[in-house]
Amino acid sequence: MARHPSRRQFTLALASGPVAVWGSHALAQSAPPASTSWAAIEKSARGQTVYFNAWGGSTRINDYLKWAAAEVARLYGVTVEHVKVTDTADVVKRVRTEKSAGKLQGGSVDMVWINGENFLAMKREGLLFGPFSEGLPSYANVDTVGKPTTRIDFSEQVNGMEAPWGMAQLTFYADSTRLPKPPSSMQPLLDYARANPGRISYPRPPDFMGTTFVKQAWLERATDKSALYKPYAADNFAQSTENLWRFLDELHPHLWRQGKQFPTNAVAIRQMLSDGELHLGMTFNPNEAANEIAAHRLSSAVKSYQFESGTLGNTHFLAIPFNANASAGAQVFINFLMSPTAQARKADIKVWGDPTVLAIEKLPAAERTLFTQGQQPGQVESPKPTLPEPHGTWVDPLEKEWLRRYGR
């Protein structure tokens, strides 16, 4: 899809109400009316309050969102309320419930931080406003070529129904004084766990980091990788995952607590690594260890790296529900969050350290300098390829089977 040539030529579709969409999903979708100028959208947004439903488990991220909210209030007269959630699936359920109850306008959710199976569910069930993202002025600078996951979310085409916000890639980190040569793939990781029992673990699925670890192992062990990028097929599940379960059966007896218990999330693993209990941490943010070193929560001896042949990566997005009460305000806030100023601040190790979705080389010189930080302690020194996520429909059956086998 071609990019728009000029910010001033952008137009956006404002939702005037839902219409029925019939077909395989038979669900309502926001109907884009005649194109509306960006200036008109900014005018409509002024005075609106945007209820932004987003994970609230990180002080760094919460503080960043407070800054962003203050900026859009100052610049555009839009108020943003951060509704802190622990599981985005709960937000999806709320929007679904509102739709089932006939609440087709004035919904309780104006904007949601989303990707993967949650986006897939909302898209397929007609729970999203749009398409809108490629009409945002800031979208002109998105790196859709170098960062193709900005347009494909867990093998599902975005089609303008969500806006790219930040990049993620499975990244491991270790204290180089304890683990000077960290495992370069899942097989060396298994070998290390055997030689150092109790020093490796991963979060318990369905924690997203734990599920990502399982998917990485699945991808490395799969004999037919192409099947992972097609929608889930029940009749192919056992064959497609056979090598994965064999690998985990070998690995688990050598993990922390013999694989009979698992840490709750990646934050717990980071603390256990800091305490010397575990030798390997994992994150979806390649800059997380650097951020923690800067905050003096991890040793400066910690090094980040990715597996030699690559690790799973994706983009995280921002979406607007079909019945949002403040769709104009949400678009204005999303556009600001995608701007060079907001993206540079988000990428700053001392603020959040979340990689940008923008093509830095496309920016004017003054804006490019915003992203110049230099190599920081704990950052990945030699980035490896980003492997695309399997199709989002595999996540639920994969987690259920993991819990059946190992979720004591």
Q: Do the domains 9-166+316-371 and 169-313+384-406 sit in the same CATH topology, yes or no?
A: yes
The pLDDT, as a whole number, for residue 25 is 35
Q: What is the pLDDT of residues 181-195, one digit of tens each?
A: 999 999 999 999 999
List for the chain the helix, strand, coil content (%; round to 5): 45, 15, 40
Query: Topology of 169-313+384-406 in CATH?
Result: D-Maltodextrin-Binding Protein; domain 2 (3.40.190)
**b/e 363-391 (16+ beta carbons within 10 angstroms → b):** beeebeebeeeeebbbbbeeebebbbbbb
Non-local (6+) Cβ contacts of 56 within 8 A are 62, 82, 84, 85, 86
pLDDT band at 1 (very low <50, low <70, confident <90, very high): very low
Tokens of 257: 């607590």
Task: Give yes or no for a contact between 228 and 391, defined as CB atoms under 8 angstroms apart.
Answer: yes
The pTM for the full model equals 0.81
Question: Which residues does 302 contact at the CB level (< 8 Å), separation at least 6?
Answer: 173, 174, 175, 176, 273, 281, 289, 292, 293, 378
Spell out the domain ranges in the chain: 9-166+316-371, 169-313+384-406
Taking all residues of the chain, what is their mean pLDDT, rounded to a whole number? 90
Q: How confident is the model at residue 91 (pLDDT cuts 50, 70, 90)?
A: very high
In one-letter notation, the amino acid at residue 345 is R
Over 50: is that where the pLDDT of 23 sits? no
Q: pLDDT tens digit string along 336-393?
A: 999 999 999 999 988 999 999 999 999 999 999 999 877 888 999 888 988 999 998 9
How do residues 99-154 score in pLDDT, each as one tens digit?
999 999 999 999 999 999 999 999 999 999 999 999 999 999 999 998 999 999 99
pLDDT of residue 15: 31
More confident residue, 162 or 11: 162
Residue 54's beta-bridge partner residues? 84
More confident residue, 24 or 85: 85
Beta bridge partners of 18: 30
Beta strands in 86-162 (DSSP E): 111-114, 152-153, 156-157
Q: Are 311 and 185 in contact (CB under 8 A)?
A: no
> If you average pLDDT over residues 278-283, what whole number do you get?
97
- The domain 9-166+316-371 having CATH identifier 3.90.550.10: the answer here is no
User: Please, are residues 274 and 298 in contact by the beta-carbon 8 Å criterion?
Assistant: yes
Whether 22 shows a pLDDT value over 70: the answer reads: no
Structure confidence at residue 19 (pLDDT): 29
| pLDDT given at position 6 | 31
Q: How far apart are CA 356 and CA 245, in angstroms?
A: 35
Cβ proximity of 204 and 262 under 8 Å: yes
- Whole-number pLDDT of residue 140: 97
Rounded Cα distance between 198 and 175, Å, is 16
CA distance 228 to 218: 9
* pLDDT number for residue 35: 62
